[in-house]
Amino acid sequence: MGRVKGKVVAISGAARGQGRSHAVRLAEEGADIIAFDICADVEATEYPMATVEDLEETARLVEKTGQRIFTRQADVRDRAAVQAVIDEGVAELGRLDVVVANAGISPIGAGRPIGAFTDTVDINLNGAINTVHAALPHLGEGASIILIGSAAGLIPGYGDTGPAGPGGAAYSFAKQTLVQYVNAIAFQLAATNRRINAIHPANCNTELLHSQPMYDTFRPDLEKPTREDAEPSFATFHAMAVPYVEPIDVSHAVVYLAADESRFVTGSHLKVDAGALVKRGL
């Protein structure tokens, strides 16, 4: 315990799913948290987004560990709003040592309008960069920046994504571009002893995966497939015989990259993917 004791960590998309898991796990290891989330639906997703009550539950779980948490609603597409939240959080908690750009959507499915593409790029790519750039003025020597990418970001290719539709194409594009962003900015930050790395999960057991549009995409042969119908298809993405990894599996990697034990790790891409990329020879 205490691997990030005394640090303050900002996390986007912290109301539920991976973001909540990262917040609680980091708090268990001694960090105070700046947590923000849109807490409103995004039309393109066609599944419910996190709520204010979800963000309040994240705060309750963090406070249960004995750590402090500062929460606000903010849309990562709005750079000024993200900047304001981080500035206020730093004023409240005294410093910023780590930022975790976690917020994301997946409006997957064929036949979607182009808004599924643009919203995904705006949130998953531009939103991640907004979060990092808003945090940079507060991040001093030894700071760590962590991007939550995706195994999809390490699989090359674009074009016709079939049942994944424009949202699926945008998801891959956004995550692929974040890989290049990490590679480019890691060198720029290294001279000031600041680090940036990405974690690339495969299917993860969150609300983003468990939605009707996702089930429909993985089982296009069925009308209104259920979670039970989709899980065997989820498993085919991986080399290991599991349909998904758990949020905590990703959070363990977040703690490692946030902690000083990874002080010389930068520009890296850590796969938490149950062998999804090995299966593809990548």
CB 16 within 8 A of CB 207: yes
pLDDT tens, position by position, for the chain (282 residues)?
A: 899 999 999 999 999 999 999 999 999 999 999 999 999 999 899 899 999 999 999 999 999 999 999 999 999 999 999 999 999 999 999 999 999 999 999 999 988 999 999 999 999 999 999 999 999 999 999 999 999 999 999 999 887 778 899 999 999 999 999 999 999 999 999 999 999 999 999 999 999 999 999 999 999 999 999 999 999 999 999 999 999 999 999 999 999 999 999 999 999 999 999 999 999 999
Q: What is the pLDDT of residues 89-138, one digit of tens each?
A: 999 999 999 999 999 999 999 889 999 999 999 999 999 999 999 999 99
The CATH code of the domain that includes 170 is 3.40.50.720
Classify residue 107: in a domain, yes or no.
yes
Return all residues near 202 (Cβ < 8 A) that are at least 6 apart.
150, 151, 237, 238, 244, 245, 272, 273, 274, 276
Sheet-wide strand order for 8-12: 69-73, 32-37, 8-12, 96-101, 139-148, 195-201, 269-272
Q: What is the pLDDT of residues 8-36, one digit of tens each?
A: 999 999 999 999 999 999 999 999 999 99
Dist. CA 104–CA 122, nearest whole Å: 10
Range of the domain at 43: 8-206+245-272
Query: Domains in the chain: how many in total?
Result: 1
- The candidate with the shortest Cα–Cα distance to 58, out of 91, 122, 88, 102, is 102
Classify residue 230: in a domain, yes or no.
no
Residue linked to tokens 């020597």: 141
Classify residue 225: in a domain, yes or no.
no
Classify residue 94: in a domain, yes or no.
yes
Classify residue 131: in a domain, yes or no.
yes
Classify residue 213: in a domain, yes or no.
no
- The candidate with the shortest Cα–Cα distance to 38, out of 17, 62, 24, is 17
Dist. CA 276–CA 200, nearest whole Å: 10
| 114-119: long-range contacts, CB 8 A cutoff, minimum separation 24 | 114/166, 115/43, 115/44, 116/44, 116/165, 116/166, 116/167, 116/170, 117/166, 117/167, 117/169, 117/170, 118/170, 119/42, 119/43, 119/44, 119/45, 119/167, 119/170
Which sign does the torsion angle of CA 12, 17, 20, 23 carry?
negative
| pLDDT value of residue 162 | 81
Instruction: Look up residue 126 and give its two tokens.
Output: 């531009």
Classify residue 236: in a domain, yes or no.
no
Classify residue 227: in a domain, yes or no.
no
Catalytic positions are 171
- The candidate with the shortest Cα–Cα distance to 137, out of 174, 91, 178, is 91
Dist. CA 195–CA 145, nearest whole Å: 6
